[in-house]
Every structure is written in structure tokens, then in C-alpha cells.
Amino acid sequence: MRRHRPKEFRNALGQFATGVAVVTTLDNDGNKVGMTANSFSSVSLEPMLVLWSIAKNAGAFATFNQADHFAIHVLNADQQQVSRQFATSTTDRFAGIDCNPGHGGVPLLTDYSAVFQCDTEARYEGGDHIILLGRVVDFDNKALPPLVFHAGRYTGLPTANSS
């Protein structure tokens, strides 16, 4: 059996197109914390559960791993810059981003395709990541076309007129 390298594995995973989300919470001092993630997934309709995962070496790992509440914002197709901003190591990822306090004070972006406000239900070990299971306490759906990521780049969904 051929031994695969992590980069090859990551490239193969990149063949699965995903939506792009920004996850937000507050740290212990009440500061806004956010990051871009594409590991978001639905788990259950009853009760309403979702999950996402964060790398243990991520700068915001300790904050999210201890958070009682978080919000997952599914970005819309016009939000590539927002995705990039929350993926960088800038000191203020919220600069120029409109937001309001949500459940537990968690910052809610005002622009998104859908948002899910969650209580942290459980945490699971997942190799070099922690999987965070969230119980959805509120959500909103603007039903805008989503931002899509595939093979290391942003892309659009095919339209009915595409061939």
C-alpha cells in the first residue's frame, strides 16, 4: 500500500467543494474572536445540532475550546474579502465588519447567507483538531447564494444556464 503524505491528503480533500463560514465567539475578557472555517456540517434536525472543527494549533483554539456559545455564519457569494479577513492573522479581524451582539453576547455579522447561534453541546477529540458540537438556539436564513471553496480557491455554483 502506498504511503500518502499530508499535502496529498489535503489536496484530495480539496476536491470536496464546501461552503465557507465565519465562526465567532467572545473570549474570557469579552473581546470578539472570529475565524474562517469550512468544516461546518449539520448533524441533527431534532434536536437542532451542528458541528465544526478547529485545529489545535489555531491562534483562537483556546478561546473556542472554552467557549460556552458561538455563532456560525455561512458566507454569501459576495463575501470573499470577509472570508480572507477572518482567515488572516491581523490584530482586528472585525475591522470594518458590521456586527451586533447575539446569544450570550457573541458577535453576529449583519451580512451572511445564514447564521446559526449555538450553545456548545460537546467537544470531541479529532486528531490534530477538536470537533465542537453546537446546539442551535436560534438561526436566520437570508437564502443568498453561498460562497463556495473548491481545490484551494473560491468558486461559484453552476447556474441553470451553465453547461
pLDDT interval class at 22 (50, 70, 90): very high
Q: Is residue 122 part of a domain?
A: yes
Residue 11 lies in a domain: no
Name residue 59's amino acid.
G
The reply to whether 50 falls in a domain is yes
Tell me how many domains the chain contains.
Answer: 1
CA distance 54 to 44: 20
Structure confidence at residue 42 as a pLDDT band (50, 70, 90): very high
What span, in angstroms and rounded, lies between the C-alpha atoms of 66 and 151? 32
Contact criterion met (CB below 8 Å) for 139 and 113: no
Side chain identity at 157, as an amino acid letter? Answer: L
pLDDT digits (tens, 9 = 90+) for 118-143: 999 999 999 999 999 999 999 999 99
**Whether the Cβ atoms of residue 157 and residue 18 lie closer than 8 Å to each other:** no
For the cut 70, the answer to whether the pLDDT of residue 159 exceeds it is no
In a domain, 138, yes or no: yes
Residue 142 within a domain? yes
Query: Environment class of residue 148 by beta-carbon count within 10 Å: exposed (0-12), middle (13-18) or buried (19+)?
Result: middle
55: left (phi over 0), alpha (psi -120 to 50) or beta: beta
Cis peptide before 47 (omega within 30 of 0): yes
Q: Is residue 133 part of a domain?
A: yes
pLDDT for position 57: 95
Cα distance between residue 96 and residue 84, in whole Å: 13
136 part of a folded domain: yes
- CATH, residue 99: 2.30.110.10
- Domain for residue 144, yes or no? yes
Give the residue numbers spanning the domain of 46. 19-149
Cell of 37: 472555517
If one compares 128 and 17, the residue with the highest pLDDT of the two is: 128
DSSP-derived letter for residue 113 is S
